[in-house]
Structure 1
Amino acid sequence: MRWVRSSARLGLRAVSYKSAAQGLKHTPPLPTCVSARTAGTAIQRPTATDVSAGRPLRVCVVGSGPAGFYVTKYLLKEEAELGCEVVIDIVDRLPTPYGLVRFGVAPDHPEVKAVQNDFDQVASDARVSFFGNVCFGKDVSAAQLSELYDVVVLAYGAAGDRELTVPGADLEGVFAARAFVSWYNGHPDFAHMSEEFAKALASSDTVAVVGVGNVALDCARILAKGANALKGSDICDHALDVLSSAGAGLRRVVILGRRGHVQASFTMKELRELTKLDGVACLVRQEELELSRTPASLDELKTARPKNRIDALLTKVADGSDSVSAEAKAVEFRFLVGLSDVLPNNSIPNRVGAVRVERNQLELDEATGAQRAIGSGVKEVIECGMVLGSIGYRCLPVHGVPYDERNSIIANERGRVQGVPGMYCSGWARRGPSGIIGTNITDARSVVAAIVEDVSSKQLALGDKAESRQGLRNMLMGGQDGAPGLRGSGGTKKKVQVVDWDGYQRINRDEVARGAMKGKPREKFVHVEEMLSIATAVGDEE
């Protein structure tokens, strides 16, 4: 048995983590691995025992994004503390790992994607196995994983959108920002949407983005930059084709924030990038900044240096906005404007033609100390042909996993899933969609500490789990009967084409080779069938 030191903690650079954003129509149906039902009966486990002498702690991590990889990384460092070896199987519903680092980080931000190098080292550890193309809740249930493993960590993120509910949100041309981001980043669930985005971009020279987070600014920047400025990035070819054709006539992107600039959640880095785009003006209205500077907002500025810097930069941009030609290509910030409704195109009534916004005012909620946006009744119409909603995410319920409906997260107490000993959660599934990559590090350490505490205090049932990894392989690939509610139930057999780490490396090598021929870091495969074909190109090695 191999031992490691119980960990001087690694200090890692916190890098901005772009999520994929949220909200509306034209998002493909949720994957069948996500159940529309909430938890149901809690999983029952036997009483606690010691870790069996001479055998490892067997762990399954569901999700291979930052949350899952950081839990894996830090749990591997706790062998000495646990008094046993740790072996970990990472399960992901796609054949490729990295989650939103692959599908959410903007293609012109390669420095953020460099975190994959750290994850590669974790996945290459002999104690770690990757099970790609395995859908939790469909191919394997929460109850089955609990039977197979000592510890199960759920780190599958927030795959749902908070939807716009205003009239007209169902018109063609209204999309979730998540759909747009996932489409240009090559997510298989969204790769088919080129025609829809092309129609929307071709219908007008203006796009409205609802929301003022980093994802909203990512969308605005990618649209404003256009195809030529993105050719050397890992943006997918299908997105370049649409941006170079239908998107060529785009002249204005309007970013709509219902509250003031002090309450906006974008970072200084993202804002600064928008102010420095070649051939693209950045516009801000001085009067909207002034309206935003309420006494409560000024108090926020006094105690928050990052917001002060943002306020200063926006003020500088506003000072120069009046001199920008009305015909110039531009990204325009609008603050204190709430979306009232989406209006149809006069010629094509089932398509977007404009958005109507209402001037808001900030009102202090004495009970919470937060400022709310209150409509003034003054409205304005902004013509546009496409609307991207970037207003939030939600973790989706999975059958067999306790779910907190109010907060749209897994029901948990400091990372321990309520009512299910041995099951934990981390990342957005635990805390909701917030933070940067560094937040997932903190989250992972907290969950790992809880696992170590529960194992050391004999709170977990650690019975005979000697065949966990092989048992999962047999269940997925050997055609065992499906469990109730899963694919293959009703007495039929099921067989899943699992992609292991070697299989992913074949996908990776082919993507890099395809990209090199085009002067890009990689050209992603955007269909699961293609990925599976490449992953098994040298035959089944199991």
Structure 2
Amino acid sequence: MSTCILRAPVSKGFSLQFATTFAKTTSCYGKLGSTAAPQPQVCIVGGGPAGFYTAQHLLKSHKGVQVDVFEKLPVPFGLVRFGVAPDHPEVKNVINTFTQTARQDRCGFYGNVTVGSDVTVEELKQAYHAVILSYGAEGSRSLGIPGEDLSGVHSAKDFVGWYNGVPGNKDLKPDLSAEMAVILGQGNVALDVARILLSPLELLKKTDITAGSLEAIAGSRVRRVLIVGRRGPLQVACTIKELREMINLPGTQPALDPRDFQGLREAVQDIPRPRKRLTELLMKAALEKAAGKEAEREWSLRFLRSPTHILPSPDRSRAAGIRLAVTRLEGSGEHARAVLTGEVEEVECGLIVSSIGYQSLPIDPTVPFDPRQAIIPNRMGRVQQAPGLYCSGWVKRGPTGVIATTMNDSFDTARSVLDDMESGQLDTSTPRAGSCAMHALLKQRGVTPVSFAGWEKIDAVETARGREVGKPREKLVDVRDMLKVASL
């Protein structure tokens, strides 16, 4: 397989007509011209959890369907590979299930193919009976404050991508020279970032964190991490598991202010049990700090604060601090709203990571998109006013929930597709060229797709490299290196 990654210009219409004609002159002709019932051809855009769970349910429930998964990177699994923290290997075990799905004869994988540029959604709709968009949330919510573009300010998406080996983030080079780092947001991703910054090097060396990130963290001077939220202790978005890991992190202590929890012991009596346990754990950690527990590194949760300005260094070349507005709560519980009080405070820091949420982006001008909610408008996964087009995962419902949430959501979309096939709302009576047309089309455009067998070559090299240094894997972080290995 060639390692060429040059992209020829997309030429609509003629190219797909050529590809379909080509398919009819090759081994696909028998399938296209068969008198038997046509094989339903389904395309899934996005090789992450949503894509593979959707494929799994379709293949299990329909013994004749052919499913092709398209992924813009040469490697599959999306946020399971690139979003799960390196020290959470148990969460990545779902890759085994996805691998079983991908190895089925009726499932094809096309890595290194960017839908929207290498091939359009409209071309996919002509080649397949159904197209399911499962490409996730590739953007980050903007802070919308002065100084956000200064060096030293990063989105959590990019920072997580840096230590997890996303090719586009390999050159991030975060400034870890200052003692204080500030993370904006108090969800699980924020705690992941804090934990990676503060973890003992010996723990990280046993994970699949990238070599470059490990080297940078080895020289890090960060000793204190401030995790900032607009609301109070009863509204933190992390789970008790993530919080407990932070509290028990070796060589690190929580620096929580007991005053933040005054009056909460009575308030938690009537709230749901998960929130009650989380708050009680926070209060216990705050009291232990007050009792004098000491450690080399520390982290703290700063409540009722909203960022208003990133403060520049004297030469205005980088971030040197952040200005926070003090807020108060109106209302209670999950619906409490943060209101500005007029007070402000400033914190000196060299690194600022914004963890206020991911968001999906439009993929193609022909696909409906709601810019306010940053999702594709849909009903049970059926894209509105676009027959034959479906969506699943974060682009369907927004960037919320855990992997199990994505699994259930993806199964729902798969059921919608299957129901539409059965009812005739999705017409599968006319043969579609599917993968045969795509092979010809991509070849014509100079695009080299990576098959699942190609990914397994990359996987073998990564795990072998990892064994040499006592890690589960040492990830390739350059697309050119991935393509070279896949072509061996």
Question: 1:358 Cα shift?
Answer: 2.2
1:268 is matched with 240
Deviates more, 1:172-181 or 1:221-230: 221-230
Distance 1:227 1:287 in 2: 33
Contact 2:83 2:160 in 1 (8 A): yes
Distance 1:59 1:419 in 2: 19
In the alignment, structure 1 residue 201 sits paired with structure 2 residue 179: no
Question: 1:53 Cα shift?
Answer: 4.1
Secondary structure of 2:171's partner?
Answer: helix
In the alignment, structure 1 residue 389 sits paired with structure 2 residue 354: yes
Question: 1:323 Cα shift?
Answer: 4.1
Which of residues 53, 64, 88 in structure 2 aligns to 1:109? 88
In the alignment, structure 1 residue 302 sits paired with structure 2 residue 270: yes
Q: Deviations over 1:89-145 (max 9, x none)?
A: 000000000000000000000000111011111111111010000001011111001
Distance 1:327 1:122 in 2: 47
Distance 1:127 1:324 in 2: 61
Residue pairs, 1:403-482, within 5 angstroms? 403-477=369-443, 479=444
Change (3 A) 1:361 1:52: farther
Secondary structure of 2:307's partner?
Answer: strand
Contact 2:128 2:432 in 1 (8 A): no
1:67 is matched with 50
Which of residues 106, 124, 143 in structure 1 aligns to 2:103? 124
Which of residues 144, 162, 166 in structure 1 aligns to 2:123? 144
Residue pairs, 1:80-479, within 5 angstroms? 85-194=64-173, 197=174, 200-202=175-177, 204-245=178-219, 247=220, 249-290=221-262, 293=264, 298=267, 302-324=270-292, 328-346=296-314, 348-364=315-331, 370-399=335-364, 400-477=366-443, 479=444
Contact 1:52 1:462 in 2 (8 A): no
Q: Deviations over 1:461-493 (max 9, x none)?
A: 32533421111111112x1xxxxxxxxxxxxxx
Change (3 A) 1:123 1:219: same
Bigger proportion of residues as helix: 2
Given the two structures, how large is their TM-score scaled by the length of structure 1? Answer: 0.81
Contact 1:260 1:289 in 2 (8 A): no
Secondary structure of 1:201's partner?
Answer: coil
Distance 2:294 2:472 in 1: 37
Q: Match of 1:178, as an amino acid?
A: K
Secondary structure of 2:176's partner?
Answer: helix
Contact 1:427 1:444 in 2 (8 A): yes
Contact 2:84 2:91 in 1 (8 A): yes
Structure 1 residue runs without a partner (length 5+):
1-31, 33-50, 480-493, 538-542
Contact 2:157 2:358 in 1 (8 A): no
Q: What do you get for the CA RMSD once the two structures are aligned?
A: 2.1
Given the two structures, how large is their TM-score scaled by the length of structure 2? Answer: 0.90
Q: Match of 1:257, as an amino acid?
A: G
Question: 1:373 Cα shift?
Answer: 0.4
Report the identity percentage: 40
Distance 1:448 1:276 in 2: 41
Secondary structure of 1:380's partner?
Answer: strand
Structure 2 residue runs without a partner (length 5+):
1-6, 8-33
Change (3 A) 1:369 1:227: closer
Secondary structure of 2:225's partner?
Answer: strand
Distance 1:288 1:342 in 2: 25
Distance 1:95 1:369 in 2: 40
Question: 1:54 Cα shift?
Answer: 2.9
Distance 1:158 1:503 in 2: 25
Question: 1:412 Cα shift?
Answer: 1.2
Change (3 A) 1:361 1:353: same
Change (3 A) 1:409 1:226: same
Secondary structure of 1:94's partner?
Answer: coil
Contact 1:426 1:443 in 2 (8 A): yes
Deviates more, 1:514-523 or 1:324-333: 324-333
Q: Deviations over 1:367-417 (max 9, x none)?
A: x98211011122222111010000012110122211012211012122101
Distance 2:472 2:446 in 1: 34
Change (3 A) 1:511 1:454: same
Distance 2:56 2:293 in 1: 52
Aligned length: 456
Secondary structure of 2:462's partner?
Answer: helix
Question: 1:359 Cα shift?
Answer: 2.0
Contact 2:38 2:428 in 1 (8 A): no
Q: Deviations over 1:150-200 (max 9, x none)?
A: 111110001111011122222211110111100000000101113xx1xx2
Secondary structure of 1:125's partner?
Answer: coil
Q: Deviations over 1:320-366 (max 9, x none)?
A: 223447884101111111112211224x432111112122110029x
Change (3 A) 1:404 1:331: same
Distance 2:147 2:425 in 1: 52
Change (3 A) 1:209 1:462: same
Change (3 A) 1:224 1:369: closer
